[in-house]
Amino acid sequence: MILPADTASAGVGTHAGWALTFHRETGADPGEAPTVLSVSSDHHDGQIEATLPGGLEGGVYTVTVEGLSDADYQAIAQDVAADPPSVMKLHLFWYDTTSSVGAYLANVAGVTSIAGRPSAEDLADRLVAVLTVVSVTRRVGTRHYETVITARERVYERLGRRVVNSVCKESPKSVVEQATREAGVKVDFLDGFTDEGQLPPREGTDLGTAMTNFVRGNTYRKEIGEVGTAVEQSSGRYGRGVLLIRDGMLYVGVRPGPLGGGEPVPLSPRTGLVEVAAAGLAPEQSGTAEQPAAPARRRHTLVLKGRPDLKPGAVVQFDLPPTEKAATTPSVGAAIAGPLLGPLLPSLPGAEFADPRLLYVDSVSHRFGRTTSFVTTVSGVEVETATAEAMYDPPPPAGPEKGETGGARGGDNAVRAARAVQSGVREALSRVHLAEAGEVRLVTSSGDGSADEPPRHTATVWRGLADPDGHPNRLARLPVVRTSPDIRQRVPHVTPFAWGSTGLVVPRYPGTRVLLAHGKGDQDDPVDLGALWESGTGPDAEPGDWWLILPVGVPAEQRGSLADSAKPEPHTGPVTQDLIDADGNRVIEVGELTIRVTRDALASAGTRPARAGDAGSVTIEHADAGSKIVMTADGTVRIQASKIELDAGSDGEISLKAKNVNVSVADSMDVS
């Protein structure tokens, strides 16, 4: 038998074991799936290398089994029904344990007996991971044929399926629920969601409540990864990840403490601790005097005699060596007996922790083999307490790294190498500047431009919004960054037509929010694509409206620029309007209107047309013929032409009503 869980977690033994159970993939939770095949250390020597993931990752699992029979090999690799048992559960355990000095001496003497073989109930308590087999190969070994099984986390593999049809969901939580349901994956939600499954608003931002979508062609992993990123942004909890796989289940949300609850796990020589090594500092965040970054956390690597109970998301307690940067020196007894052949001599009670530290575990690796024994390597970052406030990092002053998906930052060498490649890809992609919102601060409407003066029809724009808060529709909703803004000068803007000195000139008032694109993704080549209404602003229109509204009477000093300290306020004064509604009605409201028809007197390109001579009037004139109709501000209507005809037709009539009618005829008047 295997020793009970509480006993095994308090100590380690001298005889380690492993077991693999294989099950068929049904697309549902494999917890109760019947076992098709069991392979264990009872009958086979094997070598196991297992790195458990610290986020929504596949992990690294390679199992080499010596002397597997042809029938067993075919059962997992070449099933006749073309349905091999692709779900593999990995179990690691001790057949015995050491919890006393007497037992320690028995270990050294090699007289400890094996109490029995593992039962199904024992294995259930010794589960390390639920995996999907990705390859099974055979090779010639030194003693037997060797079967090499490569596997990844089943949760990770199942969530690699792609979305067939786009679907709108009412909340981020419902996205995860549907993705895991369709993938046949168990999920548990932690902190970071409201009762309705939404993300809580972050202080200083308006809440975005748009639907959350499944996008056709995306993997479920990508959809859940984006939810994880949103949870980080809305909660302000960074660094430890909000997505974690453990025992075949996906955990989503901010962990309030060690995953699964409980107190930190004490690690000492008595419980298998062999070596403590400082692993430097976690990557330091940039900061300023006004926006200081959180202190960089110290990283540590702990080497233990096999501890299969330790998994990412746990918090452990250990004694920091006096030298901090050097590994602890094994005791004399350990040097004699061999740290991997028997546990270190137990410390006296109460004397184990001279300088106790807490470590958040973000990586656990197991190595098990005939020549390597059973070694567990734990890596993580130092924390003050086992609470969310202490475990997680605050939002970085420089903003979250682009492309991050809510994962932890730790891992063994292989995982870190993979993340380094991913980070390199993200860094390369981050150089490609995509669309971004900004605010116009200065407008240049005229001038040819020089080294000191920007050219006409360009603007100075403060580019960038506040850090993402996890909610959608951020371009129109989040506030513009006004502290140490990213200032972009001489930014041209797109207009429907532009050719030389001809085109359509549209206004750009300081304070206008605009959408910027970047030529070839270069951050130094922005272009204003058009204006955006900030969330909750804009006129109350009706469906089908075409409505041009321009402000009137903006103070002259605010038409071209704003002071750096000024926060723009929306225009609430008078406006001109041109409205065409869905029924075809058109309404034009302006302060003065001039319509001029001419061919001979057309102005050259770029020449500003002259207003009519009567201020506040409506003037319609034909400049070539000299005819004109003027409605002045005092109510006078003047008609001026070389010939005026009024024709009401044979059945029409013309009525003139006035107090006085004055008719002045220079030659003759014919009335017939």
Per residue in 516-546, pLDDT (tens digit) is 999 998 889 999 999 999 998 999 999 999 9
Q: How far apart are alpha carbons 142 and 51 in whole angstroms? A: 25
Task: Determine if residue 485 is left, alpha or beta; phi over 0 gives left, psi from -120 to 50 gives alpha, anything else beta.
Answer: beta
Q: What is the mean pLDDT of residues 572-594?
A: 96
Q: Which residue has the higher pLDDT, 34 or 284?
A: 34
Range with top average pLDDT, 74-83, 282-291, 420-429: 282-291
> Which domains, from first to last, does the chain contain?
1-158 (no CATH), 169-252 (no CATH), 256-282+296-391 (2.40.30), 436-569 (no CATH), 593-640 (no CATH)
User: Measuring CA to CA, how many Å separate 131 from each of 20, 62, 89, 180, 398?
Assistant: 10, 11, 6, 16, 38
What is the residue-averaged pLDDT of the chain?
85
- pLDDT tens per residue, range 128-186: 999 999 999 999 988 889 999 999 999 999 999 999 888 888 889 999 999 999 999 99
- Listed range (13-22, 35-44, 397-406) with the worst mean pLDDT: 397-406
How confident is the model over 291-350, as pLDDT tens digits?
777 888 899 999 999 999 999 999 999 998 876 544 444 443 443 344 444 444 444 444
Helix-, strand-, coil-residue percentages of the chain, each rounded to 5: 15, 30, 55
Token readout for 225 is 């990864």
pLDDT band, very low/low/confident/very high, at 412 (cuts 50, 70, 90): low
pLDDT value at residue 209: 53
Residue with tokens 């501000």: 633
Section 462-486 average pLDDT: 91
Mean pLDDT is lowest, of 318-327, 347-356, 465-474, 556-565, for: 347-356
Q: Say which range, 8-22, 32-46, 365-379, 440-454, has the weakest mean pLDDT.
A: 8-22
> What is the rounded average pLDDT of the residues 459-478?
92
Element (H, E) at 424: helix 413-430
CB 285 within 8 A of CB 362: no
pLDDT in the model for residue 95:
85
Return the bridge partners of 609, or none: none
pLDDT at 405: 53
What is the share, in percent, of the chain residues with pLDDT greater than 90?
60
Q: Is the pLDDT of residue 415 over 70?
A: no
The mean pLDDT value for 653-672 works out to 89
Q: What are phi and psi of 490, to 5 degrees?
A: 55, 40
For residue 411, count CB atoms less than 10 angstroms from its CB and return exposed for 0-12, middle for 13-18, buried for 19 or more.
buried
Across the chain, how many H-helices and E-strands are there?
A: 12, 32
197 burial type by CB count under 10 A (0-12 exposed, 13-18 middle, 19+ buried): middle
Mean pLDDT of 573-589: 97
Would strands 212-214 and 145-153 be described as parallel, antiparallel, or unpaired?
unpaired
Q: Given this model, what pLDDT does residue 290 score? A: 76
pLDDT for the residue numbered 451: 85
* pLDDT confidence tier of residue 103, bands split at 50, 70 and 90: very low
